[in-house]
Chains A and B, each alone.
Chain A
Amino acid sequence: MTDMDIRLTVNGRLQHAKAGVMRTLLTVLREDFGLTGTKDGCSSGDCGACVVVMNGQVVNSCMVLAAQADGSQVTTVEGLASNGELHPLQRAFGGTWAFQCGFCTPGMLVSCHALLSSNDNPSREEVLTAIAGNFCRCTGYQGVVNAVQQAAAELRSANAEAVLQHD
């Protein structure tokens, strides 16, 4: 049994790994790249703790074989902040008690981040739909909705300002 060599870009960095037959993207992220922000809550596609964005799609990384991730672009929770600056969504999560234990938070943040990239003013329903696969046992998801809407408002006004400055 030979392990296939895979290369993928994770949070903007090119990485290499061995993809054994049964290895998942989640295992490679956590064990080979030390990106333990992405969590394992079930290993069976039921909880969303392992959500990452792969080639623009929100996926449960426990259900993606490492071999399938060859050549892909992956964003994990560790890739949301840029230059040490938290994304507005990350800041909002802290302020609105969008988590308690925080174990669901990395997956939840990645799902919400993906939502904001296609919708700058999501309704409550749209947020709930975006996180429908992200299980949280501690909260009732209200803080998440508040955080996403707060971050969306902040991003909209930042954009408006950028447009003004550009003019």
Chain B
Amino acid sequence: MIDSGAVGRWVSAPGAYDIVTGKARYCPDLDFPGMLIGKLLYSPHARACIRRLDVTAARMIPGVIAVLTHADIPGENSYLYAEPDQPLLVVDEVRFQGDAVAAVAAIDEQTADAALRAIDVEYQALDGIFDPLAAMQAGAGQVVAGKDNIMMHKTYRTGDVAAALASAHVIVENTYRTQWAEHAFLETEGGVGLVDADGGVTVYSSCQAPHRDRMQIARALGLPESRVRVITPYIGGAFGGKDEAHVQIHAALLAHAARRPVRLIRGRRESILTHVKRHPFIVHCITAATRDGRLLAVKARAIVDAGPYSNATHEVLNKFGEFIGGPYTVKNLEIEKIAVRTNNPITGAFRGFGAPQAAFVYESQMDDLARKLGMDPLEIRLLNGVDTGTRMYTGVVVREGKAMKASLRRAAEMMGWQQRGELGRQPATHLRRGWGMATILKGSGMGRGLPDHAAVLLEMHRDGSVVLQSGAADMGQGIVTVLAQLAAESLGVEMSSVHVVRADTAQAPDAGASCASRQVMVSGNAVLRAAVPIRDSLLQVAAEKTGVARDRLVLHGGRLHVDGQAHDLTVAELARRALFRGYPLQSEGRYELEYPADAPEVTYRYSQEVFQFCTQIAQVLVDCETGQVAVERLVAVHDAGKMINPGGVYGQIEGGVAQGIGYALTEELRVTEGHTLNASLENYVIPMALDIPELEMDVLEMPEPLGAPLGAKGIAESPIIPTAPAIRNAILDAIGRPLYQLPMTAERVLSALDAAPCADPA
């Protein structure tokens, strides 16, 4: 059923016309009669106690309609969907540079700014706690009064690590450091709040999880969820950074107080200072192997700086630990995970959760190991790689794992791995060329034991046109396109006949968050289910009308087909007749990712079991005088399961690799004593068009049994994960020096070279 028509074809996004004509409306483009501009006030200190907060003067300014402090919040003044421990507006203590102190709404931008300036706050600066290692020590003082600085401390063990280490022929032991990284979605966070005549609230939200926003907005307003409606307009990127709520709750609070529409959009600097960053990790890792390169044990200890509030720290560390052994058979593994509170930036979800940090560690270890053993990096990976049926160190049995080795082989072939030296390792005295690979796995879905379902509403009208209501937010990753393709295919109509309504909680059932590469699996399968009763009605009518048995009838391209031949009857005609007869043309489809009873036992909590495997190989040129690294070629081979929308899949890969190049070489939020020094797109250096080589990509399609019948796996996260370690290993190959810290800036490459100048090529 899903092997022809719209599915698997290179189609354009349903929103393409709006986007290329400038008609697509994102939060900053929304305008309503009487709309006010909202703004938030932040503290100039990373940590301070608020001695006085007086908003009287601000309230007196003509044109200022609402000024809110914590005292004006009708419901709960704390948010975050899992563990609400971050204040919407601080009560008495500022705990990081992005804590909001007050909110204003005024008739225009200038008046709102004037209101912010007129708010009288007396801060008493406090000594912050900025070093996570120091914060762990006894007597360090508490970042949040009454709470341990150690937010989380968990250890997972399997096998006998001590015995394995004792018997190992070779051991590599290193300490890795990763940085705070910024999502830099081009549209900053925003929300527009509206109050209905009856006191209900509607919020347009640039978000990843509209139904969860609804819950959080209702809590803050003290309203039942039934009085809150969240609509997603076009959204300008998210990458995990809009998974948690940001200003949409404040926009709702201001609109509720002002009884007028309020638009609240973060400026770029404000955005960088306030939303979660990718967690910086310090990881100590020991990897042990036999003489012939078989992995015996992995032992790691990770310490992350979480900032003051919880956000997605538990999830990130959970994923880090789940993947620290890589896509390899490791029988003995120990991972200790520690999250520490500080007064630094808050940290949370960012494409891949903790998997990119884990991959930087395990794939660097693999190359260090290969060098020690004198093995080829490809060979050691193939030797240890998992396959279909392998039981992982988490207890999970890999259901579909052929892509692990297949992606390695394919990428090696595309790069010309065996002939790689031929191009010249030293094209000039000061230049060194090198090749490096990384192969990874990343799970899709929420993980065993966590709710992972979605529902959609599908309806065909009498003219054969179709409307699909889905609560899945499309931030640009393309879920709307995929759902339109699947609806068109399942109902036998053209994609242009399907209208997918962008997520609106008043109309669409909950699909959960657009995160963890899950929506294609859950919402995609929900569409297939929703289509069944509608297709049944159409075929029933067709059978009655033609007198031909149902099993000889197929709907395709808006027309009935009998024994594969186009018939006069159109789907529109069938829809009209079905409605006349009272056959249902409306249906809800619901899908839940159901994990089979776990035998053998899955020992790692919340393990994902659908794996995106992929391999990337980089060719770099290092300038030994400047330390500059140029990525000359990059090959990326990814498994997407069944590919629904190739344009979207390739797009995810190239976009992920581009972000991965930035993560590897330049992107780093510089933070000193809790203050971010480079909160601009000028100083936070992201790859631009000229910094990215022409990518060489291939997609393997290994249908996923767990996500049946669709067989898609999701592809959103894996592309960013192998890029940094592949580049790191290529630099190692080029200059013979290993790096253990991200990003691998020119200075860091130079200091690695200082330790030993450019070695002559091997």
Q: Which residue of B lies closest to A47 (CB)?
A: B681
Please provide the chain A residues from 84 to 112 with a CB less than 8 Å away from any CB of chain B in the complex.
86, 90-91, 93-97, 99-106, 109
**Shortest Cβ gap from A59 to chain B (Å):** 17
Are A141's CB and B692's CB within 8 A? yes
Are A96's CB and B647's CB within 8 A? yes
Are B686's CB and A101's CB within 8 A? no
Q: Which residue of A lies closest to B265 (CB)?
A: A40
Best-buried of B28, B187, B692 by chain A (most CB within 10 Å): B187
Are B185's CB and A142's CB within 8 A? no
Q: Report chain A residues within 8 Å CB of B686.
A: 135, 137
Query: Is A44 on the interface with B (CB-CB < 8 A)?
Result: yes
Q: Report chain A residues within 8 Å CB of B237.
A: 100-101, 103, 137-138
Are A41's CB and B647's CB within 8 A? no
Query: Known contacts A135-B686, A137-B184, A142-B654; is A102 also within 8 Å of B21 by CB?
Result: no
Which of B10, B22, B478, B647 contacts A36 (CB under 8 A)? B22
Query: Is A134 on the interface with B (CB-CB < 8 A)?
Result: yes
Are A97's CB and B651's CB within 8 A? yes
Q: Which residue of B lies closest to A49 (CB)?
A: B186
Are B689's CB and A137's CB within 8 A? no
Q: Report chain A residues within 8 Å CB of B25.
A: 36
**Shortest Cβ gap from A31 to chain B (Å):** 9
A138 CA to B682 CA in the complex, in Å? 18
Query: Known contacts A43-B268, A132-B688; is A105 also within 8 Å of B651 by CB?
Result: no
Q: Report chain B residues within 8 Å CB of A86.
A: 17, 20-21
A45 CA to B28 CA in the complex, in Å? 18
Query: Is A35 on the interface with B (CB-CB < 8 A)?
Result: yes
Please provide the chain B residues from 657 to 712 with a CB less than 8 Å away from any CB of chain A in the complex.
657-659, 680-682, 686, 688-690, 692, 694-695
Are A101's CB and B21's CB within 8 A? no
Q: Report chain B residues within 8 Å CB of A80.
A: 20-21
Q: Which residue of A lies closest to B654 (CB)?
A: A140
Are B658's CB and A42's CB within 8 A? no
> 1/0 per residue A122-157: CB within 8 Å of B?
001001110111111111111110000000000000
Are A44's CB and B268's CB within 8 A? yes
Query: Is A61 on the interface with B (CB-CB < 8 A)?
Result: no
**Shortest Cβ gap from A90 to chain B (Å):** 4
Are A43's CB and B689's CB within 8 A? no
A35 CA to B12 CA in the complex, in Å? 24
Query: Is B476 on the interface with A (CB-CB < 8 A)?
Result: yes
Are A95's CB and B654's CB within 8 A? no
Query: Is B235 on the interface with A (CB-CB < 8 A)?
Result: yes
Q: Report chain A residues within 8 Å CB of B440.
A: none
A131 CA to B687 CA in the complex, in Å? 12
Query: Is B13 on the interface with A (CB-CB < 8 A)?
Result: yes
Query: Known contacts A134-B689, A137-B659, A141-B689; is A105 also within 8 Å of B681 by CB?
Result: no
Are B655's CB and A103's CB within 8 A? no
Q: Report chain B residues within 8 Å CB of A41.
A: 186-188, 268, 681
**Shortest Cβ gap from B656 to chain A (Å):** 8
A81 CA to B18 CA in the complex, in Å? 12
Q: Which residue of B lies closest to A131 (CB)?
A: B689
Are B236's CB and A101's CB within 8 A? yes
Please provide the chain A residues from 18 to 37 with a CB less than 8 Å away from any CB of chain B in the complex.
30, 34-37
Which of A46, A129, A131 contacts B680 (CB under 8 A)? A46
Please provide the chain B residues from 234 to 286 with a CB less than 8 Å away from any CB of chain A in the complex.
234-237, 239, 267-268
Query: Is B140 on the interface with A (CB-CB < 8 A)?
Result: no
Q: Report chain A residues within 8 Å CB of B13.
A: 94, 97
Which of A81, A94, A95, A140 contacts B695 (CB under 8 A)? A140
**Shortest Cβ gap from A25 to chain B (Å):** 16
Are B681's CB and A135's CB within 8 A? yes
Best-buried of A100, A124, A128, A133 by chain B (most CB within 10 Å): A100
Which of A44, A103, A132 contacts B186 (CB under 8 A)? A103
Are A101's CB and B186's CB within 8 A? yes
Are B690's CB and A129's CB within 8 A? yes
Give chain B's interface secondary structure class: loop
Which of A37, A39, A135 contacts B21 (CB under 8 A)? A37
Best-buried of A41, A104, A127 by chain B (most CB within 10 Å): A41
Q: Report chain B residues within 8 Å CB of A43.
A: 267-268
A137 CA to B655 CA in the complex, in Å? 7
**Shortest Cβ gap from A85 to chain B (Å):** 11
Are A141's CB and B658's CB within 8 A? yes
Are B692's CB and A140's CB within 8 A? yes
Query: Known contacts A41-B268, A134-B689; is A90 also within 8 Å of B21 by CB?
Result: yes
Are A105's CB and B648's CB within 8 A? no
Query: Is A77 on the interface with B (CB-CB < 8 A)?
Result: yes
A30 CA to B31 CA in the complex, in Å? 11
Query: Is B29 on the interface with A (CB-CB < 8 A)?
Result: yes
Are B688's CB and A135's CB within 8 A? yes
Which of A93, A96, A100, A131 contacts B476 (CB under 8 A)? A100
Q: Report chain B residues within 8 Å CB of A141.
A: 654, 658, 689, 692
Query: Is B126 on the interface with A (CB-CB < 8 A)?
Result: no
Query: Is B24 on the interface with A (CB-CB < 8 A)?
Result: yes
Are B187's CB and A39's CB within 8 A? yes
A164 CA to B235 CA in the complex, in Å? 45
Which of A49, A78, A95, A101 contacts B234 (CB under 8 A)? A101
A143 CA to B185 CA in the complex, in Å? 18
Q: Report chain B residues within 8 Å CB of A138.
A: 186, 237, 476, 651, 655
Q: Report chain B residues within 8 Å CB of A37.
A: 21-23
Are B475's CB and A139's CB within 8 A? no
Query: Is B15 on the interface with A (CB-CB < 8 A)?
Result: yes
Query: Is B759 on the interface with A (CB-CB < 8 A)?
Result: no
Q: Report chain B residues within 8 Å CB of A40.
A: 28
Query: Known contacts A94-B12, A97-B648, A140-B692; is A103 also within 8 Å of B187 by CB?
Result: yes
Are A101's CB and B185's CB within 8 A? yes
A144 CA to B652 CA in the complex, in Å? 14
**Shortest Cβ gap from B659 to chain A (Å):** 7
Query: Is B125 on the interface with A (CB-CB < 8 A)?
Result: no
Q: Report chain A residues within 8 Å CB of B236.
A: 39, 101-103
Q: Report chain B residues within 8 Å CB of A91.
A: 20
Query: Is B382 on the interface with A (CB-CB < 8 A)?
Result: no
Query: Is B604 on the interface with A (CB-CB < 8 A)?
Result: no
Are A78's CB and B655's CB within 8 A? no
Query: Is B16 on the interface with A (CB-CB < 8 A)?
Result: yes
A90 CA to B651 CA in the complex, in Å? 18
**Shortest Cβ gap from A29 to chain B (Å):** 10
Q: Report chain A residues within 8 Å CB of B548.
A: none
Which of A30, A99, A103, A133 contacts B688 (CB under 8 A)? A133
Are B681's CB and A101's CB within 8 A? no
Are B24's CB and A102's CB within 8 A? yes
Query: Is B123 on the interface with A (CB-CB < 8 A)?
Result: no
Q: Report chain B residues within 8 Å CB of A133.
A: 688
Best-buried of A93, A103, A124, A138 by chain B (most CB within 10 Å): A138
Are B690's CB and A132's CB within 8 A? yes
Q: Which residue of A lies closest to B182 (CB)?
A: A137
**Shortest Cβ gap from B346 to chain A (Å):** 20
Are A47's CB and B186's CB within 8 A? yes
**Shortest Cβ gap from A144 to chain B (Å):** 8
Query: Known contacts A86-B21, A137-B186; is A97 also within 8 Å of B650 by CB?
Result: yes
Are B655's CB and A140's CB within 8 A? yes
Q: Report chain A residues within 8 Å CB of B647.
A: 96-97
Query: Is B477 on the interface with A (CB-CB < 8 A)?
Result: yes
Which of A30, A39, A46 contacts B681 (CB under 8 A)? A46
Please name the 5 residue pairs, one residue from A and one from B, whose CB atoms are nearest each other, closest first.
Answer: A37-B22, A101-B476, A103-B236, A94-B16, A140-B654
A-B contacts, 8 listed (Cβ < 8 Å) = A39-B236, A80-B21, A94-B16, A101-B234, A101-B237, A128-B689, A132-B690, A141-B692
Interface residues of B (CB under 8 A from A): 10, 12-13, 15-26, 28-29, 31, 183-188, 234-237, 239, 267-268, 475-478, 647-648, 650-652, 654-655, 657-659, 680-682, 686, 688-690, 692, 694-695
Given contacts A101-B186, A137-B186, 13 further A-B contacts (CB under 8 A): A36-B22, A41-B187, A97-B651, A100-B237, A101-B476, A102-B234, A103-B237, A103-B476, A127-B689, A135-B681, A137-B183, A137-B185, A137-B659
